[in-house]
Amino acid sequence: MSGLIGKKIGMTSIYDENGKNIPCTVIEAGPCIVTQVRTEEVDGYSALQLGFDDKTEKSATKAEAGHAKKAGTSVKRKVVEFQGFGEDYKLGDAITVDHFIEGEYVDIAGTSKGKGFQGVVKRHGFGGVGQATHGQHNRLRAPGSIGAASYPARVFKGMKMAGRMGGERVNVENLRVYKVVPEKNLLVVKGCVPGHKNSYVIIQK
């Protein structure tokens, strides 16, 4: 699917035509530069490689600098391939937030915030075991039994237990585009988007 690379700016809320308060996420979407054009003849598939957010020459590798020079642009921090662009684009072309229209729906993928080491109640939604009375005092948020007895004499793989949470790729589908601000390259979508402020997100039609 065609789309753009963006950067999460933060959240706000707007009122719709019925006066309802809608929570929204503001994303800086593009402009993305075409850094490579994949074709059926050469690569076996057709796609566009887009670059977003300038990177300093000092922190770029020689390979990155040469790749950007071929496209006639500066080195980019984030590079992603997209398929499904109907129009013909050439190296160095810029694709802006005008690619989206108000009222349509998009899918947005990003890396969720890291939560660190968390227990089973927060990580997996356990309800806790036992009662707060009858002599027990410290097992309310414990996982309870994690296995059987002498058979199978082990804990099965995949058991829901405490551990590190977050920092995973999350794809949120069917977010409505509420507003497009071309002069500032801003996209306002309904609902929340994975990731912290200034994190990169992939917006697909």
pLDDT in tens, 1-58: 789 999 999 999 999 889 999 999 999 998 999 999 998 899 899 999 999 999 888 8
Average pLDDT, the chain: 91
Chain segment 150-159, per-residue pLDDT in tens: 988 999 999 9
Contact criterion met (CB below 8 Å) for 204 and 82: yes
pLDDT at 170 over 90: yes
Phi, psi torsion values for 98, nearest 5 degrees: -65, -10
Contact criterion met (CB below 8 Å) for 154 and 147: yes
Q: Is the pTM of this model over 0.75?
A: yes
Domains and CATH numbers, the chain: 3-114+169-204 (2.40.30.10), 115-165 (no CATH)
Pick from 83, 82, 85: which is nearest to 99 by CA?
A: 85
Alpha-carbon distance of 66 to 91, in angstroms, equals 14
Mean pLDDT of 172-190: 94
